[in-house]
Structures are given as structure tokens and as C-alpha cells.
């Protein structure tokens, strides 16, 4: 059988930039400076500049970034934060962790991102913030979301965990709201070699507060101004991220080229292909198609050694963890349809056209098959 094709391939990336990574790791170890210090500060500066933002605070994960950004804005008990159910659970967990309540609204049928009109309808006196997710690497409709939020005095926190380098009207994820939260989980478009994350913002009060909270509420060594957390960005991870950052634009370019190629090769098949909004440059963290025969197609691809995935099969409003919020099946129809039909195809910058052709051929074989009797 031909070599299998993974959903993403971190080995292939290391084969290209391994020496730069190894040098960065050796530099940190030779100085024994593992906590905060210049490695973290340098990466923060570089990543803020990359996003076109004033400030960046490195933290221990994307989840920590979301939680600390909410805390830095004073969101807490009794508050509601509007977000989507079609996302990774960390989006909502961060809201719950600060004592607030996530309010799930439906997604747009084209982008699968937060539907601005659904957001507007869900606003009440308790609403403190909205947390749009730039899912799969495409920014949500930030023009309309920001307009609605401004009208109601609501804070906007981007969950940009999948959207490093994506733009909306020419501005990068990171400067599209009050604050943006990034994950550098290894498989993300910019990935560390472990857990890492960052809060990016143009507002000095927010970044200052995140810096305090991530480091036990202290400015001086044993003077604690607030009760904080141990959620710092590790210096080793910062050095690795700093070595990778100069490559990010090339990787996003490669992802765009491969995504465009998927779209043209799959155009005639009976599949719902991803749509990109006119205002957006997609970062293509994932290339997601939809088909009512999703589970069968997934099985077919796996049988042929192709690592397709599902992001995400159970929307958050129907997760056992959120049962107490009282949502029911049918509450978020578009979200539920997407969850039942979405399928993520292999996509990573080093993917060859030959590999991509095999994925397409395998899908074409499947779509050509008659539907199995239920």
C-alpha cells in the first residue's frame, strides 16, 4: 500500500527547519534562562509586530490566553459571554473558568463562524463580551461584530487560536477586537513543541493585567499585588516560536496554494467546499468540506491511509459538560448541520501535489460510489 498521508505533518516541517530549532533550544539551555527573560520578551515583541499590534503577552496555552484576557477585562461571575458552539471546547471553558456563562449562538452558513445577527439577538443586560472564533483560519465577520459590540458597550475577544496570519480587510487577526488569544499548540499554524499561547492587544491596561496574572500577580519578586496564576510562556517554547515565526508567511502562502488547488480539483464533485469571504485572507489551518455521507467518507479515507478528521463532531451546547445550561438538539440548527457533515482534509505546508492528488482521487472514488443502504 502507498504511504499514508497524515492530517498534518510536524516531522516534515522539522526536516526543513530542524537546525534553526536545535540552535534556539541550545541557546536557551546554554544560558539556563528558562523563565520569562529575554527569550520571552523577544518573541512577544516579534509576534506583536507580526500581528501589527502594540502588545503581546506570552502565556502557557491558548486556553490560558482566553481565560486571562477575560479576567484582564474584569469579566466574571454573573456575566454572560456570547460565543459559538461550533469550536474547540477551550473557547467556552475559559468563560466558565472565570465564573461567567457562555451563551451559544448559531453560525453563518458560509463561513461556519459566529453569525452577527444571532449575536445581536442574544444580547441582554448581563452580556459583557463576545468571543468570535476565527474557525479553521478564516476570520469571523469582524466588521459587523465590532459594530454591534460598540453599539452595546460589549468587549470583543478574538479566539484566534487557528488564525495566525489571517486577515480581515487587510488587518491581521490580533488587532480585530479589544484583545486576541492565540494558541501555539504543536499542530496550530504556528506551533510550539509543547503548550504555549499569547494575548495580543493594542490596549496597555489589558497586556499589563495579563502579565501580572500569568505570573502570580507580582511585579517584583516576592511582592504580590493580586492573586494570580502560574501561566507563563516557557522560554524554551518562546525560542522555538521565535525560530519559526520568520517562516509563518511562507507556510500560510503554501496553505493558500494547496487550498486553492483542492478547491479546483474538487469543484465537480458532490461536496460542499469551503467559502472565503471577500474581506478575508484565510490562514487555512484546516480545509473543511461537507457531505451528508460524512461518517462513511471518513471511514473510506482512513481505509486508504488518509488522515482526515472531524472538527468538531459534537457542538458545545450538546456536550455533557454543558448539560446544565439546558440547550436541546435543534436549538442551533446550522451549527448542528455543520457538526454532522464536516470533514477536514489533510493540509500542511510541506504537502506535495502528488499527496494531494491521492486524497482527491480517493474522495472522487467515494463520491462515485452509490449510497450504501441504511
Interface segment toward ligand PLP; rule CB under 6 A; list 10-18, 51-59, 87-95, 224-232: 87-95
Query: With CB under 6 A, what is the number of residues at the site for ligand PLP?
Result: 15
Min CB(157)–ligand PLP separation in Å: 11
Spell out the SS3 assignment of the chain. Answer: CCCCECCCCHHHHHHHHHHHHHHHHHHHHHHCCCECHHHHHHHHHHHHHHHCCCEEEEECCHHHHHHHHHHHCCCCCCCEEEEECCCCCHHHHHHHHCCCEEEEECECCCCCCECHHHHHHHCCCCEEEEECECHHHCCCCHHHHHHHHHHHCCEEEEECCCCCCCEECCEECCCCCCEEEEECCCCCCCCCCCCCEEEEECCHHHHHHHHHHHECCEEECCEECCCCCECECEHHHHHHHHHHHHHHHHHHHHHHHHHHHHHHHCCCCCCECCCCCCCEECCCCCEEEECCCHHHHHHHHHHCCECCECCCCCCHHHCHHHHHHCCCCCCCHHHHHHHHHEEEECCCCCCCHHHHHHHHHHHHHHHHCCCCCC
Q: Does 229 bind ligand PLP (CB under 6 A)?
A: no
> Is the CB of 106 or the CB of 266 nearer to ligand PLP?
106
Q: Does 91 bind ligand PLP (CB under 6 A)?
A: yes
Min CB(344)–ligand PLP separation in Å: 12
Interface segment toward ligand PLP; rule CB under 6 A; list 48-56, 85-93, 199-207, 247-255: 85-93
Which residue in the set 55, 58, 63, 123 belongs to the binding site for ligand PLP (CB under 6 A)?
63
Q: How far apart are CA 95 and CA 82, in angstroms?
A: 9
Contact predicate 282/276, CB 8 Å: yes
Q: Does 162 bind ligand PLP (CB under 6 A)?
A: yes
Q: Does 185 bind ligand PLP (CB under 6 A)?
A: yes
Min CB(15)–ligand PLP separation in Å: 24
Min CB(87)–ligand PLP separation in Å: 5
Site for ligand PLP in 340-369 (CB under 6 A): none
Which residue in the set 59, 68, 70, 90 belongs to the binding site for ligand PLP (CB under 6 A)?
90
> Is the CB of 66 or the CB of 363 nearer to ligand PLP?
66
Distances (CA, A) of 286 to 54, 71, 309: 28, 30, 10
Q: Does 87 bind ligand PLP (CB under 6 A)?
A: yes
Min CB(107)–ligand PLP separation in Å: 13
> Is the CB of 88 or the CB of 262 nearer to ligand PLP?
88
Q: Does 159 bind ligand PLP (CB under 6 A)?
A: yes
Pairing of strands 167-168, 171-172: antiparallel
Min CB(264)–ligand PLP separation in Å: 27
Q: How far apart are CA 47 and CA 51, in angstroms?
A: 6
Which residue in the set 105, 107, 154, 161 belongs to the binding site for ligand PLP (CB under 6 A)?
161
Distances (CA, A) of 151 to 6, 41, 101, 123, 131: 45, 36, 21, 11, 16
Interface segment toward ligand PLP; rule CB under 6 A; list 61-69, 73-81, 248-256, 273-281: 61-69
Q: Does 242 bind ligand PLP (CB under 6 A)?
A: no
Interface segment toward ligand PLP; rule CB under 6 A; list 60-68, 170-178, 245-253, 350-358: 60-68
Q: Does 237 bind ligand PLP (CB under 6 A)?
A: no
Residue at shortest CB range from ligand PLP: 62
> Is the CB of 95 or the CB of 297 nearer to ligand PLP?
95
> Is the CB of 255 or the CB of 300 nearer to ligand PLP?
255
Min CB(36)–ligand PLP separation in Å: 19
Instruction: List interacting residues with ligand PLP (CB under 6 A).
Output: 61-63, 87-88, 90-91, 133, 159, 161-162, 183, 185, 195, 197
Amino acid at each position: 500500500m502507498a504511504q499514508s498521508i497524515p492530517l498534518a505533518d510536524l516531522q516534515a516541517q522539522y526536516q526543513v527547519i530542524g537546525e534553526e530549532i536545535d540552535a534556539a533550544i541550545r541557546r536557551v539551555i546554554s544560558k539556563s534562562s528558562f523563565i520569562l527573560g529575554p527569550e520571552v520578551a523577544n518573541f512577544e515583541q516579534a509576534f506583536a509586530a507580526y500581528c501589527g499590534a502594540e502588545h503581546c503577552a506570552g502565556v502557557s496555552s491558548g486556553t490560558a490566553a482566553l481565560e486571562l484576557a477575560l479576567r484582564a477585562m474584569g469579566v466574571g461571575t454573573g456575566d454572560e459571554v456570547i460565543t459559538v458552539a461550533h469550536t474547540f471546547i477551550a473557547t467556552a471553558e475559559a468563560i466558565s473558568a472565570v465564573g461567567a456563562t457562555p451563551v451559544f449562538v448559531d453560525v453563518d452558513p458560509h463561513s461556519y463562524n459566529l453569525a452577527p445577527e444571532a449575536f445581536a439577538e442574544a444580547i441582554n443586560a448581563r452580556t459583557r463580551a463576545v468571543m468570535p472564533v476565527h474557525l479553521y483560519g478564516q476570520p469571523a465577520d469582524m466588521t459587523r461584530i465590532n459594530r454591534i459590540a460598540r453599539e452595546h458597550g460589549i468587549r470583543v475577544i478574538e479566539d484566534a487560536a487557528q488564525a495566525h496570519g489571517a486577515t480581515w480587510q487587510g488587518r491581521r487577526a490580533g488587532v480585530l477586537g479589544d484583545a486576541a488569544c492565540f494558541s501555539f499548540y504543536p499542530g496550530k499554524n504556528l506551533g510550539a513543541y509543547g503548550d504555549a499561547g499569547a494575548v495580543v492587544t493594542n490596549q496597555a491596561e489589558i497586556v499589563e493585567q495579563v502579565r501580572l496574572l500569568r505570573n502570580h500577580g507580582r511585579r517584583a519578586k516576592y511582592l504580590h499585588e493580586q492573586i494570580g496564576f502560574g501561566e507563563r510562556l516557557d522560554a524554551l517554547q518562546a525560542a522555538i516560536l521565535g525560530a519559526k515565526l520568520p517562516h509563518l508567511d511562507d507556510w500560510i502562502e503554501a496553505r493558500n496554494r494547496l487550498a486553492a488547488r483542492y478547491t479546483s480539483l474538487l469543484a465537480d464533485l458532490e461536496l460542499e467546499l469551503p467559502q472565503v469571504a471577500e474581506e478575508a485572507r484565510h490562514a487555512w489551518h484546516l480545509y473543511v468540506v461537507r457531505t451528508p455521507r460524512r461518517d462513511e467518507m471518513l471511514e473510506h479515507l482512513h481505509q486508504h491511509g488518509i488522515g482526515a478528521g472531524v472538527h468538531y463532531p459534537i457542538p458545545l451546547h450538546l456536550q455533557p459538560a454543558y448539560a446544565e445550561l439546558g440547550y436541546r438538539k435543534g436549538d442551533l440548527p446550522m451549527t448542528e448541520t455543520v457538526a454532522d457533515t464536516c470533514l477536514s482534509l489533510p493540509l500542511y505546508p510541506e504537502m506535495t501535489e502528488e499527496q494531494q492528488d491521492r486524497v482527491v482521487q480517493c474522495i472522487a472514488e467515494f463520491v462515485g460510489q452509490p449510497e450504501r443502504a441504511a
